[in-house]
Amino acid sequence: MTHNLVVNYNLYQKMEVFRPHLVAASAMTRFHSDDYINFLKVISPDNMQEYIRQLQRFNVGEDCPVFDGLFEFCQLYTSGSIGGAARLNQSKADIVINWAGGLHHAKKAEASGFCYINDCVLAILE
């Protein structure tokens, strides 16, 4: 729906698409715990049975399911938010939008509400 509005109102003609560099896991530890980030890097549907305790500890599994490419998904949307904040800080943009971002329910060492990484907090810290 958002895409249709942007196209139908010709807003895309006034927009610049920015593709940020992927942030490293270490950038995510500015807010999230090392243990939690390391867990997100290794967990997959294939190895979930080996991480039962961590799945419970980090609240991953029910409303925050494990899926192939989970960490890469987190890395992509977090990179957009951090990259957008950097552009604002460097006065390279007045407004930035990360259509994939805004996953603000994640806690320091816990997923919540399909939010694994709190990209909003990381963007603010940027």
**Residues assigned a catalytic role:** 105
- Which tokens is 65 given? 């399911």
115 strand-pairing partners: 112
Instruction: List beta partners, residue 114.
Output: none
Contacts of 112 (CB under 8 A, 6+ apart): 59, 63, 64, 105, 106
Distance (Å, whole) CA 121 – CA 30: 9
Q: Other C-beta atoms within 10 Å of 111: how many? A: 28
CA torsion, points 117, 118, 119, 123, in degrees to nearest 10?
-140
